[in-house]
Amino acid sequence: MTSLPVGALTDDPDVLAAYASDRASFCPSGRPSALVRARSVQDVVDTLKWAYDNRVPVVPQGARTGLSGGANAVDGCVLLNLEKMDRIVEIDVPEQIAVVQPGVINADLAAAVAEKGLYYPPDPGSRDISSIGGNVATNAGGMCCLKYGVTGDFVRALQVVLADGQVTRTGRRTAKGVAGYDLTRLFVGSEGTLGVVTEVTVALRPAAARPLTAVAFFDSAADAGRAVADYLGAGYRPAVLELMDRTSIDAVGKLQDLGFPADVGAVLIAQSDVGAEATEELKAYERSARACGATEVIVADDPAEGDLLMRGRRLAGLAFEEYPACLVEDVCVPRGRLADLIEGVERIAAEHDVLIACVGHAGDGNVHPTVLFDLDQAEAAERAFDAVMRLGLDLGGTITGEHGVGLLKREWLAEELDDAALWTHQQIKMALDPRGILNPGRVIDSVPGGRADADRRSS
Amino acid sequence: MTSLPVGALTDDPDVLAAYASDRASFCPSGRPSALVRARSVQDVVDTLKWAYDNRVPVVPQGARTGLSGGANAVDGCVLLNLEKMDRIVEIDVPEQIAVVQPGVINADLAAAVAEKGLYYPPDPGSRDISSIGGNVATNAGGMCCLKYGVTGDFVRALQVVLADGQVTRTGRRTAKGVAGYDLTRLFVGSEGTLGVVTEVTVALRPAAARPLTAVAFFDSAADAGRAVADYLGAGYRPAVLELMDRTSIDAVGKLQDLGFPADVGAVLIAQSDVGAEATEELKAYERSARACGATEVIVADDPAEGDLLMRGRRLAGLAFEEYPACLVEDVCVPRGRLADLIEGVERIAAEHDVLIACVGHAGDGNVHPTVLFDLDQAEAAERAFDAVMRLGLDLGGTITGEHGVGLLKREWLAEELDDAALWTHQQIKMALDPRGILNPGRVIDSVPGGRADADRRSS
């Protein structure tokens, strides 16, 4: 009989409580029965074998910086934490790939490969504290995704421990390959519901040129949204195109002096990393911004100024946590609907009498309208939060651009997907996790149903 | 009771025979019982419902230009051909996406979006004759993939008809999105074994600058392979980096005068489309090529010369068909092992006393060693073909970089994947196609097995 890996095991109630949730607000978490801090693949295998035999739920965790409750405990579960598997196994400079354990912090990987002249682009807002395993579990995005792509675009191969303890490798080290189904992409973004990732092989790029930065100021965030559509529609693809509205600027301003004019309605920050042609790319940006009502456009001639500004932008998440309570949204819409989304969010804020900050990856159409509220406004805040998701769907968008479904948006998934897609999710979940032990209640349940399922079970 | 769509149905034996196979050589095909030339999603739904009810195998087909037998008939099957669903439904210029039916020819899509200033990069060698549906089914690559990515990197959303006739949509129109499992990527490359794609939403890019071309001549193809590793290892990512060895040059030379010096051992063609910086990118290429033994490097100052040269390179597949028989390999190795692969292929050719041409997407490490032989050499040719796959695996590569597993490489899949990965494939196949009617015998069989499967069936 398999047992839990004793050396890695904790059942200290205080420790369990500390590990029972991620950073999602207003997202319930259950009472775990144990915590395994895995130090090896064998620890993960032992945990899953034991849990499979005993039908005990397992909640895989990385750095618990997620924003959708995907790492929150389930009653009676084993928390399977991977943050101690944090070794960069290999950086292969000629092949431009790195092999890492899941607990490696995103920024640590980026820094390690940068030292070797390489670049790992995916840079979620949490990059200083989130782990590659968590990034893979949620298919995390970030600021550089507009030009370079999301986490999944950089994952070449995975080592995964399946529900019953089988260890498998997906993908390959080569640039291309089509031998079998794309299991790598199936596990990426599956939020720990199909397997536990124990090693990640990522593709790297040659280092990019240090970016030039331009900032455009607008009276309204919707104008900034129109500038996004205009600029990208003209055929440019800058490295960064980030939006902050008035409320976001105010929030960040409490942590860092951004040096913006006092009455600014919104800023849209563009960065170009195409070397000698960056100036031209930013000139085109200035034209689009002015055509859409920018009151001022400044191109930083010192790259350090740009770095400082981006540091400010990256503080938004932290700045929102200074409020009594916040709910972070993650809708993504077609870029042409960005202005509609922003105006709609302003309407929703007014209707529900809450403050909503609009900040995010405008170039992707992915913004994080963040409801900022006092605890006695919680109900109104949740209604506003739901209304933003509904608006995102109505504009042809998605309920989650990069944070994942987790627990927070599980019921909303059925609003976005059609019945056959939900059926497909359930079939896959049941096929790979027939006892439903892996992160149960997240993304999708293992609920039998449908015609082919009856068939499959009688076959 | 559902019936096959009568208006789209053929059982004329001559027509059936004509549609019974794709372009894979030496790959058996069975006798189909009917051909459905679907003109609508409803035709596909009706066909699958009927086949599901009657447990009749269905072989989905596009333009039948595949090279792995994935579209070859199975005895008694319905051939479900989608080439008449060939409408470009929409080109959304501001959002840079297109929506197409699966029968649209790759080059037609590329031309249609180019007219609007946009670019659809995936360009398999078969681009003039292969359909987007087939490209999606195999996750096709091409020459522009080194810089821009493969078909799957450009698929945003799919409409898919499942085995039992359910219609579903996967993915989204937005730039990003993580609502649920990445079903889009699961269907891409699944070779018609999990569902039938009836609509594809692709991402487009802004048009690239017209490329500049440089050609380097080498005494040996292995030297060219070393130049690939050296050049890309230095941090460059050209638009194209294509290899032709002596045998390929000779074969193409019979169709088009390439104007190369008479005693050239191999050429490596690089293209750069970075506008003003293309000259610098190609100068770096010249340095790498010369450092690796290039006897001459020519930079075409007229883009038309480059076009002509690339047209020559694209003729290779056709040129090989002029031989009595050919077997096209598709291995992909880490770039640093390219020279080893090429030298190994030369050894294999000598050992088996067959001619093997080495041509392909050297920048990806993906080459198509093509065994050229007389019909009485078929056994030796097949042994050589297998030996090349074994070599690819031994060098840390994959048995197929872009053509797919199909029928041709089915037994080899088990050499590349571990047992748990094969189990995962089977679980997914059984979950989505429990009666095993979709393209049976391709990629993976619906074979029950394993611990969790027993569980799932008793649950």
Concatenating the DSSP letter of every residue in A310-366 gives HHHHHTHHHHHTTSSEEEE---B--GGGHHHHHHHHHHHHHHHT-EEE-EEEGGGTE
> Which residue of A lies nearest to B153 if distances are taken between CA atoms?
A153
Lookup: tokens for A303: 């790259």
3-state secondary structure at position A40: coil
Query: How confident is the model at residue A444, as a pLDDT?
Result: 87
> Beta strands B78-81 and B34-37: pairing type?
parallel
Q: Which of B275, B398, B423 sits opposite A277 (nearest CB)?
A: B275
Query: How confident is the model at residue B275, as a pLDDT?
Result: 85
Closest CA to B133 of B111, B114, B110, B160: B160
Low-confidence ranges of chain B (pLDDT < 50): 448-459
- pLDDT mean across residues, chain B: 94
Distance from CA of B257 to the nearest CA of A (A): 31
How many CB pairs below 8 A link A and B?
Answer: 298
Q: Where in chain A is the domain with CATH 3.30.465.10?
A: 88-206
Lookup: tokens for A426: 């359930």
Distance from CA of B170 to the nearest CA of A (A): 7
Distance from CA of A60 to the nearest CA of B (A): 17
Q: Do B146 and A400 touch (CB under 8 A)?
A: no
CA–CA distance from A1 to each of A46, A49, A166 (Å)?
10, 9, 16
Residue to mutate among A424, A426, A430, with most B CBs inside 10 A, is A424
Query: How confident is the model at residue A395, as a pLDDT?
Result: 98
Closest CA to A8 of A50, A53, A70: A50
Q: Which residues of B411-424 are buried (b: 16+ CB within 10 A; e: fewer)?
A: ebbeebbeebbbbb
Q: Which of A182, A404, A434 sits opposite B456 (nearest CB)?
A: A434
Alpha-carbon distance of B175 to A130, in angstroms, equals: 23
Q: Do B145 and A176 touch (CB under 8 A)?
A: yes
Q: Where in chain A is the domain with CATH 3.30.43.10?
A: 6-81
β-bridge mates for residue A10, sequence order: A35
3-state secondary structure at position B347: helix
Q: Which of B146, B365, B402 sits opposite A178 (nearest CB)?
A: B402
Q: Which of B170, B176, B402 sits opposite A364 (nearest CB)?
A: B176
Lookup: tokens for B243: 């290899």
**CATH code reported for the domain at A212-394:** 3.40.462.10
Distance from CA of B15 to the nearest CA of A (A): 31
Distance from CA of B309 to the nearest CA of A (A): 25
Q: Which of A141, A182, A430 sits opposite B176 (nearest CB)?
A: A141
> Which residue of A lies nearest to B176 if distances are taken between CA atoms?
A401
Distance from CA of B237 to the nearest CA of A (A): 8
Residue to mutate among A136, A178, A447, with most B CBs inside 10 A, is A178
> Which residue of B lies nearest to A447 if distances are taken between CA atoms?
B459
Alpha-carbon distance of B426 to B420, in angstroms, equals: 10
Which residue type occupies A6? V
> Which residue of B lies nearest to A164 if distances are taken between CA atoms?
B452
Alpha-carbon distance of A161 to A49, in angstroms, equals: 10
Q: Where in chain B is the domain with CATH 3.40.462.10?
A: 212-394
Distance from CA of A15 to the nearest CA of B (A): 31
β-bridge mates for residue B168, sequence order: B160
Contacts 24+ apart (CB under 8 A), A57-60: A57/A436, A57/A437, A57/A438, A57/A439, A57/A440, A58/A196, A58/A437, A58/A438, A58/A439, A59/A32, A59/A192, A59/A439, A60/A137, A60/A192, A60/A196, A60/A438, A60/A439
Q: Do A431 and B430 touch (CB under 8 A)?
A: yes
Overall fold of domain B6-81: 3.30.43
Alpha-carbon distance of A359 to B290, in angstroms, equals: 50
Which residue type occupies A290? R
Q: Which of B149, B206, B334 sits opposite A95 (nearest CB)?
A: B334
Query: How confident is the model at residue A447, as a pLDDT?
Result: 52
Query: How confident is the model at residue B448, as a pLDDT?
Result: 44
Q: Which of A166, A335, A456 sits opposite B423 (nearest CB)?
A: A166
Size (chain A), residues? 459
> Which residue of B lies nearest to A421 if distances are taken between CA atoms?
B168
Distance from CA of B248 to the nearest CA of A (A): 22
Q: Do A206 and B418 touch (CB under 8 A)?
A: no
Q: Do A177 and B237 touch (CB under 8 A)?
A: no
Contact residues, chain A, for B409 at CB < 8 Å = 179
Q: Provide CB contacts within 8 A for A379, sequence distance 6+.
A: none
Q: Do A423 and B166 touch (CB under 8 A)?
A: yes
Contact residues, chain A, for B413 at CB < 8 Å = 179-180
Alpha-carbon distance of B215 to B266, in angstroms, equals: 10
Q: Which of A169, A396, A457 sits opposite B421 (nearest CB)?
A: A169
Contact residues, chain B, for A138 at CB < 8 Å = 178
Low-confidence ranges of chain A (pLDDT < 70): 1, 446-459
DSSP labels, B232-283: HHTT---SEEEEEEHHHHHHHHTTS-----TT--EEEEEEE--GGGHHHHHH
Overall fold of domain A88-206: 3.30.465
Q: Do B185 and A183 touch (CB under 8 A)?
A: no
